[in-house]
Chains A and B, each alone.
Chain A
Amino acid sequence: MLEIFQYDFMIRAIVAGICIAVILPSIGSFLVVRRYSMMADTLAHVALAGLAVGVLFQSQPIVTAIIATVVAAVGMEQLRTRRNIMGESVLSLFLSGSLAIAAVVLSVAKGSAVNPFALLFGSIATVSVQDVQIILVLGVIVVATLVLFYKQLFFVSFDEELAQASGLRVQMLHLLLIVLAAVAVVLAMRIVGALLVGSLMVIPVLTAMQFGRGFRHTTFISVFVSLFAMLAGLITSFYVGTASGGTIVVIALFCFMLSLFFSTRHT
Chain B
Amino acid sequence: MSINQPTTPCIEAKDVHFQYGENVVLDHVSFQIRSGDYVGILGPNGSGKTTLLRIILGILKPTRGTLHIFGEDSRTFKNNVWIGYVPQRAASSTNRFPATVEEVVTSGRTPRVGLLRGLRAEDNTAIEQAMHTTHILHLRKRLMSRLSGGERQRVFIARALAAEPKVLILDEPTVGVDIGAQETFYHFLRAMNESGMTILLVSHDIDVLAGEAKTILCLNRELICHVAAQDFITSDHLTKLYGEKGKFILHKH
Residues of A close to B90: CB separation below 8 A: 159
Which of B92-100, B127-135, B203-211, B214-222 forms part of the interface with chain A?
B92-100
In the complex, how many angstroms separate the beta carbon of B230 from the nearest chain A beta carbon?
Answer: 32
Closest to B160 in A: A162
Whether, in the assembled complex, A212 has its beta carbon less than 8 Å from a beta carbon of chain B, the answer is yes
Report how far A243 CA is from B136 CA in the complex, Å. 51
Report how far A157 CA is from B104 CA in the complex, Å. 11
Given A158-B97, A159-B87, also A213-B141 (CB < 8 A): yes
Whether, in the assembled complex, B59 has its beta carbon less than 8 Å from a beta carbon of chain A, the answer is yes
Q: Which of A155, A161, A166, A213 contacts B100 (CB 8 A)?
A: A213
Given A148-B115, A166-B111, also A161-B99 (CB < 8 A): no
Which of A73-81, A129-137, A214-222 forms part of the interface with chain B?
A214-222
Which one of A165, A168, A218 has the highest number of Cβ atoms from chain B below 10 Å of its Cβ?
A165
Residues of B close to A209: CB separation below 8 A: 98
Whether, in the assembled complex, A265 has its beta carbon less than 8 Å from a beta carbon of chain B, the answer is no
Interface size class of A (residues with CB under 8 A): 20 to 34
In the complex, how many angstroms separate the beta carbon of B132 from the nearest chain A beta carbon?
Answer: 20
Which of B76-84, B174-182, B191-199 forms part of the interface with chain A?
B76-84
Q: Number of B residues whose C-beta is below 8 Å from A?
A: 31
Cross-chain pair count, CB within 8 angstroms = 74
In the complex, how many angstroms separate the beta carbon of B20 from the nearest chain A beta carbon?
Answer: 12
Residues of A close to B99: CB separation below 8 A: 154, 158, 214-215
Task: Tell me if A158 and B110 are in contact (CB < 8 A).
Answer: no
Instruction: Give a binary string over A201-216; 1 marks a CB under 8 Å from any B CB, 0 the rest.
Output: 0000000010011111
In the complex, how many angstroms separate the beta carbon of A61 from the nearest chain B beta carbon?
Answer: 34
Instruction: Give a binary string over B47-85; 1 marks a CB under 8 Å from any A CB, 0 the rest.
Output: 000000010011100000000000000000010110101
